[in-house]
Amino acid sequence: MKRKIIAISNQKGGVGKTTTAINLSTALAATGQKVLIIDLDPQGNASTGLGVDYGQRENSIYEVLAGQANISDSIRKTEIDNLYLIPSTVDLSGIEPELADVNDRAFTLKNIFNANEKLNEFDFIFIDCPPALSLLTVMAMTTANAIIVPLQCEFFALEGLSQLIKTIERVRQNLNPGLSIDGIVLTMYDSRNKLSSQVATDVRNHLREQVYETIIPRNVRVSEAPSFGMPALIYDQRASGSQAYLSLANEVIKQNKEQEAA
């Protein structure tokens, strides 16, 4: 299988981007795929959620983008077989002004990728984006083959989606013609809440085949896991949220096989 780079993006905060990056990666790693997560958010939630403490974040993605570290030295193994991480720290919030004078700064990450063969070892690379349509997000979209958009099943779910899609279109036109939206994943679905199911129905009616079949339920085990520095799938594999991420991983694998055959 060819290496696939997927940016997990939505400028809305708290919709499940990081949770999806961590658990989808873990599920794919469990099937034997070699997976890398790049934490591209200064909040560093993906790093924390994978148990990489602040003291262990030397050679973070900030140093890589600033040209102070080689990307091969920034990749570390996690506690999970086949799953690797490039961590982030708050320093990353300072990268945009630092790159202000650089030509083609949207290509900073892509150029680093192209110059490093070690990244070809991975089957999947997920980029966990910050909640903003910022340079960091544009860099991720410029580097990626595809985007997965987590959408929370709540009233304002669709608000901001058109802005996100416009940004993706612009990146496709100017920076990365091959970029596709692989799918929208509905998150934090609460079956006892009428609004939740109404939003899910609305989104499916609007966006149809762009929406993954799997719906991620709201599940307390999923929200507890990061405080133990573990993916939900490791913390409690039987939890409904964990099972949903396994099912999403199967869809992603199937989708990629179909894309490769096409």
User: Which residues in this chain contact Mg ion in the complex, by CB under 5 A?
Assistant: 17-18, 45
Could you give the dihedral angle defined by the CA atoms of residues 58, 127, 36 and 105, in that order, rounded to the nearest 10 degrees? -60
Q: State the binding partner of 44 from Mg ion, ligand ATP, none, CB within 5 to 8 A by kind.
A: none
Q: How far apart are CA 52 and CA 196, in angstroms?
A: 33
* Long-range Cβ contacts of 163-172 (<8 Å, 24+ apart): 163/11, 163/133, 164/9, 164/10, 164/11, 164/133, 167/133, 167/137, 167/138, 167/141, 168/141, 171/138, 171/141, 171/142
Residue among 134 and 259 whose Cβ is closer to ligand ATP: 134
Q: Binding to ligand ATP (CB under 6 A): which residues in 67-96?
A: none
Nearer to ligand ATP, 107 or 196 (CB): 196
185 binds ligand ATP (CB under 6 A): no
Task: Report the SS3 class of residue 182.
Answer: strand
Smallest distance from ligand ATP to CB 181, Å:
17
Q: Could you tell which of ligand ATP, Mg ion, none binds residue 42, using a CB distance below 5 to 8 A set by kind?
A: none
- Is residue 227 at the binding interface for ligand ATP, with CB under 6 A as the rule? no
| 131 lines the binding site for ligand ATP (CB under 6 A) | yes
Task: Provide, rounded to whole angstroms, the least separation between the CB of residue 189 and ligand ATP.
Answer: 8
Check binding of 188 to ligand ATP (CB under 6 A): yes
For ligand ATP, which residue of 17, 57, 105, 110 counts as binding (CB under 6 A)? 17
DSSP string, 32-90: T--EEEEE--TT-HHHHHTT--GGG-SS-HHHHHTTSS-HHHH-EE-SSTTEEEE---G
Nearest to 153, CA basis, from 90, 224, 67, 214: 214
Q: Does the protein bind ligand ATP through residue 16 (CB under 6 A)?
A: yes
Nearest distance, CB of residue 41 and Mg ion, angstroms: 5
Q: How many chain residues are in contact with ligand ATP, going by CB under 6 A?
A: 20
The site for ligand ATP (CB under 6 A) is made up of 13-19, 41, 43, 45, 131, 187-188, 216, 218-219, 222-223, 226, 241
